[in-house]
Amino acid sequence: MTAPFSFAPPALNPAAPGSPTLDVLIRGGGPVGMGLALALSRDGLRVGLLAAAPKKDTPPDVRTYALNAGSVALLGELRVWDALPEDARTAVHDMRIHGDGGGAIEFSAWQQGIGELAWIVDAAALEHALGEALRYAPHVQRLTQPVAASLTAVCEGKDSATRDALGAGFESFAYGHHGIAARLVSDTPHHGTAWQWFRHPDVLALLPFDRPQVDHGFGLVWSQPQAEAERLLALSDAEFEAALNEATGGAAGTLRLGSPRSAWPLRVGQAQRWCGPGWVLLGDTAHAVHPLAGQGLNLGLADVRALARVLVEARRTSPWKSLGDERTLRRYARERSTPTRAMSGLTDGLLHLFAQPSAPLKELRNHGMTLVHHLGPLKRWLTARALDA
Ligand SMILES: Cc1cc2nc3c(=O)[nH]c(=O)nc-3n(C[C@H](O)[C@H](O)[C@H](O)COP(=O)(O)OP(=O)(O)OC[C@H]3O[C@@H](n4cnc5c(N)ncnc54)[C@H](O)[C@@H]3O)c2cc1C
């Protein structure tokens, strides 16, 4: 559904007409909303952050995020990266991806001539560090009610109610899979190596991570059809560990659980409109991707960088224009919708490719992986794309 050009729901501008008190109202206090508040405050804009109150009895977030160089650079500029505890971020130096029929690709930071392929970060520690940085950020008000602003930035995640009220449209597809996350401890050092297995119907990733045990920890992301995910979650710790060790074949050592297990339903989606007069979408509100590529938050932080740049540029070149000017916002939307569609298409395509049971296709995809492994320039190109979503 496409909203009419002049659509501006009353909830977005509840104050009486006149000069808005804020430049930007940010709805949603997840990592993208907090990152945007910090970036805009650094650029001198007056920001209000409307975050949902934390739900009581929410279990701790056991996810680890793989962050690329672009995200790390932004978090560095926002003084969040250095505030993370040493053991809440671990560098990935090598990555081993296995297919379902002997195919494999290996990526190495050393071969690519870069410091690291990615960083693995504690999701809860990252949100905490962003929240702490906001406490000291100038020009940022924490809000419990919406306040009139020139621009409303919607960062409410993939189930955003404000996006739906705006009529922005969100074409989405539920995979019927859940992503199980947990922390693991191995009897073998991780050596900064990430592992991933592409199979049908599951995709399993082990991300080297120094929590809960330095040099021996991993973050698990295991995507499984919903019924199998529920079965795995219901197993005792020892039964789950046995299933996990069978699935990884001992490649990363013998693994045991270092945290409770949690699961997230997985879906892919993209907003039909990313902006309108006075509003703009960022992060999972605008695009949701499968976590197999570890790119959802990277895409969201790249949105933050792009929008902050576009707004600063607009203020410099046309200071008389409202920050909610739709033509300005379309520059941001054009810049960001292409790479997010490409990432979404790539992860979706990989999933479908590995979902095909036919024997010739199985052979082809595994040959393809091994071929890519031996093609230096293609590997470098793939690494560069993954390093900066
Ligand atoms: C298992 C798993 C593993 C992942 N691994 C990776 C990875 O390795 N690398 C990576 O880059 N990404 C990864 N992701 C994706 C990443 O989690 C998301 O892309 C990221 O959390 C999106 O951030 P966000 O701020 O846009 O949305 P969210 O994190 O969903 O935050 C939205 C916030 O808005 C709040 N909110 C909602 N509605 C309202 C409202 N009406 N008013 C006020 N506030 C509201 C919510 O409470 C929430 O705090 C993974 C995801 C999963 C499920």
Q: Which residue has the higher pLDDT, 174 or 314?
A: 314
Gap between the Cα atoms of 211 and 182, Å rounded: 11
pLDDT digits (tens, 9 = 90+) for 68-112: 999 999 999 999 999 999 999 999 999 998 876 777 788 889 988
Task: Write the DSSP string, 287-354.
Answer: EE--GGGS-HHHHHHHHHHHHHHHHHHHHHH-TTS-TT-HHHHHHHHHHHHHHHHHHHHHHHHHHHHH
Residue 385 confidence (pLDDT) above 70: no
Can you give the pLDDT at residue 16?
Answer: 43
User: In terms of Cα–Cα distance, which of 262, 253, 208, 234 is closest to 90?
Assistant: 208
Gap between the Cα atoms of 231 and 180, Å rounded: 11
125-140 mean pLDDT: 96
CB atoms within 10 A of CB 177: 24
Q: With bands split at pLDDT 50, 70 and 90, how would you rate the model's confidence at 129?
A: very high
Can you give the pLDDT at residue 263?
Answer: 96
Residue 302 confidence (pLDDT) above 60: yes
- Measured on CA atoms in the order 318, 321, 324, 326, is the torsion positive or negative? negative
Gap between the Cα atoms of 263 and 221, Å rounded: 9
Amino acid residing at 282 = L
The domains of the chain, with CATH numbers, are 10-387 (3.50.50.60)
Instruction: For ligand 1, say whether the CB of 181 is within 6 Å of any of its atoms.
Output: yes
Can you give the pLDDT at residue 331?
Answer: 97
Ligand 1 pocket test, pick from 34, 62, 65 with the greatest ligand atom count within 8 Å of Cβ, gives 65
Residues paired with residue 288 on neighbouring β-strands, in sequence order: 269
Ligand 1 pocket test, pick from 25, 34, 62, 63 with the greatest ligand atom count within 8 Å of Cβ, gives 63
Instruction: For ligand 1, say whether the CB of 90 is within 6 Å of any of its atoms.
Output: no
295-318 mean pLDDT: 96
For residue 377, the number of C-alpha atoms closer than 13 Å in the C-beta half-sphere is 0
The atom number, within ligand 1, closest to the CA of 298 reads: 11
Going by alpha carbons, the residue nearest to atom 15 of ligand 1 is: 296
Gap between the Cα atoms of 293 and 300, Å rounded: 14
Q: Which residue has the higher pLDDT, 82 or 292?
A: 82
Contact 383/112 with Cβ under 8 angstroms? yes
Instruction: For ligand 1, say whether the CB of 27 is within 6 Å of any of its atoms.
Output: yes
Q: Which residues of 303-334 are buried (b: 16+ CB within 10 A; e: fewer)?
A: bbbbbbebbbebbeeeeeeebbbeebbbbbbe
Residue 241 confidence (pLDDT) above 90: yes
Q: With bands split at pLDDT 50, 70 and 90, how would you rate the model's confidence at 367?
A: low
288 CA → ligand 1 middle, Å: 9
Q: pTM for this one?
A: 0.90
285 CA → ligand 1 middle, Å: 9
pLDDT digits (tens, 9 = 90+) for 36-79: 999 999 999 999 999 988 787 888 899 999 999 999 999 999 99
Can you give the pLDDT at residue 226?
Answer: 96
Residue 266 confidence (pLDDT) above 50: yes
Q: Which residue has the higher pLDDT, 149 or 14?
A: 149
Can you give the pLDDT at residue 106?
Answer: 85
The atom number, within ligand 1, closest to the CA of 300 reads: 26
CB atoms within 10 A of CB 257: 17
- Measured on CA atoms in the order 223, 381, 116, 268, is the torsion positive or negative? negative
Can you give the pLDDT at residue 45?
Answer: 96
Q: With bands split at pLDDT 50, 70 and 90, how would you rate the model's confidence at 388?
A: low
What tokens appear for 388 in the block?
């900066």
pLDDT digits (tens, 9 = 90+) for 8-35: 443 454 444 556 689 999 999 999 999 9
Q: Which residue has the tokens 């690494």?
A: 383
Q: With bands split at pLDDT 50, 70 and 90, how would you rate the model's confidence at 366?
A: low
Q: Which residue has the higher pLDDT, 208 or 342?
A: 208
Contact 201/355 with Cβ under 8 angstroms? yes
Gap between the Cα atoms of 156 and 279, Å rounded: 13
Residue 6 confidence (pLDDT) above 80: no
Mean pLDDT in the chain? 88
